[in-house]
């Protein structure tokens, strides 16, 4: 049988196919019009192929073209972008009610911020997030390379001197949004408060003319730490080997601090010379490092953020293999990474915890970053909340130095705004 009649083919249900080589006696091959991933069917006077457009376009009715269909850039106020590098996408729509969708499904390294009116409202590195927002002044989507990446760290050529306030600085920390910085030292055993007019940018730092003396509790104050909401402050005293707890009536304003008459005594058998501390982000764990044994000790707080309820977990981790003089510790916000800095080699070392927040599961990553070109006698360090910046303080230089720590963005981020 010779099947060459198109109407007959249509009757057989092949109206979306053309013939290749005929269909002689059933031996021919019916071949689909579509040849490329993303193609679709169209029709003029007979069936035809609509070739795939470019990524992000939408198929639109268009009577001016033969098939009546055309691939066009998303209209109706919707803007679409595919981002493969660390950059900023600023849509045309900057104010008013808008729908933002960020798809990070393919992202294997890096993260994305949705910034509204200059502040981040979302930071994510996986999945799909859709939000309805209402910017007053500005909207941008910022992609960052992999965070907390010491292997990609570099000096920003930015520093800030606190020499006018403290000549023997021992510790430092930041407000969680990067708009405040705090320095503690042993000159007057006080904490000093600074403001950053641009969050996380040390070049915009200035002294608030605000300080808080802990001299009544200890005469050799080594480190300072805040509860994540800024309503509690903790100071490590090296004379009495105690962690002292304070309450701030106004969050992050140390002029409103008062001593809680609450402290934790570091057992001499664990560390005779404690010099720094850090907390789990929910306040249920505390970690203390000293200069005698070079061990980090882990404690549990039965009442979160109340150091009087701390007890030793019988867990510790020795960092002597990397530095004989550790001066500060810091955990990644999810408890999967630990960072230690030393004052002799002025280097930051990176460790992984196979069980989050469990110091006994820490192991060295064989990853480090030297700050010796800028810092002498390194004493304190701090990471920006998303891990994209590192700050290191030196005792001799009386300065804080700023570094970028982002690696490359790996994968594709798809953004639609409209």
φ, ψ of residue 71 to 5 degrees: the values are -85, 125
| Band of pLDDT at residue 12, cut at 50, 70 and 90 | very low
pLDDT at 181: 98
pLDDT at 329: 97
pLDDT of 373 above 90: yes
Structure tokens at 278: 């850090």
How big is the chain, counted in residues?
Answer: 418
Place of tokens 């009536």: 249
For the chain, the 3-state helix, strand and coil shares in percent, each to the nearest 5, are 5, 50, 45
pLDDT confidence bin for 126, thresholds 50/70/90? low
What's 266's DSSP letter? P
Q: Are 353 and 318 in contact (CB under 8 A)?
A: no
Any residues with CB less than 8 A from the CB of 213 and at least 6 apart, and which? 188, 189, 190
| pTM listed for this prediction | 0.70
* pLDDT > 70 in the chain, percent: 81
- Mean pLDDT within 369-398: 93
Question: Using one digit for the tens of pLDDT, what is the confidence trace for 156-190?
Answer: 999 999 999 999 999 999 999 999 999 999 999 99
pLDDT of residue 23: 43
Give the pLDDT mean for 36-42.
71
Mean pLDDT of the chain: 84
Question: What pLDDT score was predicted for residue 100?
Answer: 79
* CA-based torsion, 271, 272, 276, 278: positive or negative: positive
The answer to whether 21 touches 29, Cβ cutoff 8 Å, is: yes
Map out the domains of the chain with their CATH numbers: 6-73 (no CATH), 79-146+409-417 (2.60.120.380), 163-397 (2.130.10.10)
């Amino acid at each position: 049988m010779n099947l060459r009649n198109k109407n007959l083919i249509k009757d057989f249900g092949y109206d979306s196919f053309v013939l290749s080589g005929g269909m002689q006696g059933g031996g021919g091959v019916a071949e689909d019009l579509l040849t490329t991933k993303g193609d679709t069917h169209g029709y003029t006077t007979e069936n035809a192929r609509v070739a795939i457009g470019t990524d992000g376009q939408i198929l639109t009715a268009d009577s001016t073209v033969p098939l009546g269909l055309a691939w066009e850039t998303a209209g109706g106020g919707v803007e679409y972008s595919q981002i493969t590098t660390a950059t900023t996408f600023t849509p045309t729509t900057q104010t008013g009610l808008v729908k933002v969708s960020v798809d990070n499904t393919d992202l294997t390294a890096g993260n994305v911020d949705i910034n509204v009116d200059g502040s981040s409202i979302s930071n994510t590195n996986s999945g799909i997030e859709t939000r309805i927002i209402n910017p007053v002044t500005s909207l941008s989507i910022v992609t960052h390379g992999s965070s907390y990446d010491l292997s990609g760290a570099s000096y920003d050529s930015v520093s800030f001197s606190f020499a006018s306030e403290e000549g023997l600085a021992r510790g430092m920390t930041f407000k969680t949004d990067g708009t405040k910085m705090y320095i503690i030292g042993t000159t007057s055993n006080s904490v000093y408060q600074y403001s950053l007019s641009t969050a996380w940018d040390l070049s915009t730092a200035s002294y608030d003319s605000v300080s808080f003396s802990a001299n009544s509790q200890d005469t050799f104050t080594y480190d300072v730490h805040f509860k994540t909401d800024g309503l509690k402050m903790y100071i490590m005293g090296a004379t009495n080997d105690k962690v002292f707890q304070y309450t701030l009536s106004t969050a992050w304003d140390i002029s409103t601090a008062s001593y809680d008459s609450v402290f934790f005594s570091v057992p001499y058998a664990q560390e005779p010379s404690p010099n720094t501390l850090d907390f789990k982000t929910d306040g249920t764990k505390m970690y203390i490092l000293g200069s005698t044994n070079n061990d980090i000790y882990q404690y549990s707080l039965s009442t979160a953020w109340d150091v009087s309820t701390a007890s030793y977990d019988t867990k510790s981790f020795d960092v002597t293999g990397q530095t004989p003089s550790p001066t500060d510790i810091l955990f990644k916000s999810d408890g999967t990474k630990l960072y230690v800095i030393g004052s002799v080699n002025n280097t930051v070392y990176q460790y992984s915890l196979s069980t989050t927040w469990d110091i006994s599961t820490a192991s060295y990553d064989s990853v480090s970053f030297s700050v010796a070109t800028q810092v002498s006698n390194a004493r304190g360090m701090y990471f920006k909340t998303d891990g994209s910046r590192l700050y290191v303080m030196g005792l001799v230089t009386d300065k804080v130095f700023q570094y970028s720590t982002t690696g490359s963005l790996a994968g594709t981020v798809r953004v639609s705004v409209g």
